[in-house]
Amino acid sequence: MLNSNTQSEVDPVILAQAQTDNLLQMVSEQIAEQTFDFNNQEILQLLVESLGDKRGMTRLRCAETLHEIGTSATPYLLTALANHPDVVVRRASAKTLTLIADPTAVPHLIHSLLNDEDTVVKGSSVGALARIGEPAVASLLDILAANEHPESTKGHAAWALAFIGTEAKEYLYQAIASDSPVVRAAVVGAIAKVAQEEPKPDLFDILINSLTDTDENVRCEAAAALGNVAYQPAIPNLIELLNHQDGESRKAAALALMKIGDESAKESLETALTKESETAVQLILKLGISKFK
């Protein structure tokens, strides 16, 4: 038996959970009956507050209900994402915005990605940006081009661009000429994904041209992309990259040729091995050569 003190501590929680359950039941019934008032500010605010419920399944149910309501809930979710003191509500708001995918949320999600102190909120915000797609591309490229953002944030932005893929390709064609090597590397990664979905020659031409980029990361990213899709027309360019003065670029070229697995590259790998001075690259070259034996 609980004593009176314990009951007084538990009762408010039980009462609040019961109210949340009743709210969700009522809204679900009204949506099913097509009687729900999508302009009811009080109900929408209560639903967003319910995202802080301690029960995980209840939070999920709240998110799904708000998803059904759609863009009418966006302003309330954005307010919670920006200002709510409960990090659980901010996290759940970002995840719910992922479901709704409202383009008007882009600047607010960018703000949370750049400024929220919680890593889960940041990750959920970039997930929502990726889900929104093309309307978020320009802002993501801006993050990559800016010097003040940390590598973790730029990594989030690069992932979102790759996730968006085909929707972003017109932006990517322009951004590959960016002065920022970080942007070019991210664009190469995104173009690689687009090329897998739409294997068009002009996309592979961009990847091949990137093998001669002035930045090491861009060259390595391009080599890895060409190796992953086993793009045989790139073999002569990858063989040329085996002679680059940068060891990481030579290693990336050897790995790509190994993945492509074409017999025509064997002699070039053997020649490169006789000239190679870096142990790490030698190991990759030997591994690539052994594949043909």
Reference 241, options 200, 218, 102; nearest CA is 218
Q: What is the pLDDT of residue 10?
A: 56
Question: What was the pLDDT predicted at 84?
Answer: 97
- 8 Å CB contact between 84 and 49: no
User: What are the two backbone dihedrals, phi and then psi, of residue 210, each rounded to the nearest 5 degrees?
Assistant: -70, -15
Q: Give per-residue pLDDT as tens, 224-263.
A: 999 999 999 999 999 999 999 999 999 999 999 999 998 9
Contact predicate 50/25, CB 8 Å: no
DSSP string, 200-261: -HHHHHHHHHGGG-SSHHHHHHHHHHHHHTT-GGGHHHHHHHTT-S-HHHHHHHHHHHHHH-
CATH level 3 topology of 205-292: Leucine-rich Repeat Variant (1.25.10)
Q: CATH 1.25.10.10 in the chain, residues?
A: 38-132, 133-198, 205-292
Work out the pLDDT band at 101, boundaries 50, 70, 90.
very high
Rounded to the nearest integer, the mean pLDDT of the chain is 93
Q: Token pair of 214, please?
A: 């002035």
From 1.10.1660.10, 1.20.810.10, 1.25.10.10, 3.40.109.10, which CATH number describes the 38-132 domain?
1.25.10.10
Superfamily of domain 133-198: Leucine-rich Repeat Variant (1.25.10.10)
Higher pLDDT, 16 or 55: 55
At 154-213, the pLDDT tens digits run: 999 999 999 998 888 889 999 999 999 999 999 999 999 889 888 889 999 999 999 999
Residue type (1 letter), 156: H
How far apart are alpha carbons 95 and 105 in whole angstroms? 12
Cα 259 to Cα 230: distance, rounded to the nearest angstrom? 6
